[in-house]
């Protein structure tokens, strides 16, 4: 299961480290994307519910941690490019309380590789689902 560290700025470390035992990560499994930010929040997103992948720019003044924005939760450790997962139906995530959204953004260190891993996993999952008969 490929794992992608969430990008963190130096000034954010003082805020992120006390609330997370390990480095925040996003991983791509055979059937889901898993995001972990310690006590800040987490999300498990089934590959089948991801309609589109895209990117957006997160401003420095947007803050760090699990951030609630309009219709979205963003898992952010610094400003910069976030990968946006548009979902086919609302999904509950922890941010740190339960929040239901249709978009999840993740600020991984390598957005292109993260998107490629999701696209590959989605293709594999769709191929397995379609080969049943």
Q: Quickly state the pLDDT bin for 131 (edges 50, 70, 90).
A: very low
Report pLDDT for 125.
59
Output Rg (C-alpha) for the chain, integer angstroms. 14
| Domains of the chain by residue range | 3-130
What are the tens digits of pLDDT across the range 3-52? Answer: 999 988 766 555 555 555 468 899 999 999 999 998 889 999 999 999 99
Report pLDDT for 27.
97
Report pLDDT for 20.
54
**How many Å apart are CA 106 and CA 111, to the nearest integer?**
9
pTM: 0.86
Report pLDDT for 13.
56
Q: Is there a cis peptide before residue 96, judged by omega within 30 degrees of 0?
A: yes
Which of 126, 4, 96, 106 has the alpha carbon at shortest distance from 45?
A: 106
């Amino acid at each position: 299961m490929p794992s992608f560290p969430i990008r963190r700025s130096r000034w954010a470390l003082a805020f992120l480290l006390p609330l997370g035992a390990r480095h925040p990560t996003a991983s791509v499994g055979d059937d889901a994307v898993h995001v972990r930010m310690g006590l800040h929040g987490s999300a498990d997103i089934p590959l089948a519910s991801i309609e589109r992948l895209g990117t957006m720019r997160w401003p420095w003044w947007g803050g760090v941690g699990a951030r609630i924005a309009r219709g979205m939760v963003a898992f952010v450790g610094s400003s910069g490019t976030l990968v946006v997962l548009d979902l086919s139906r609302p999904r509950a995530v922890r941010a740190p309380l339960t929040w239901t959204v249709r978009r999840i953004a993740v600020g991984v260190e390598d957005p292109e590789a993260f998107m490629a891993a999701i696209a590959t996993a989605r293709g594999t999952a769709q191929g397995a689902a379609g080969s049943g008969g």
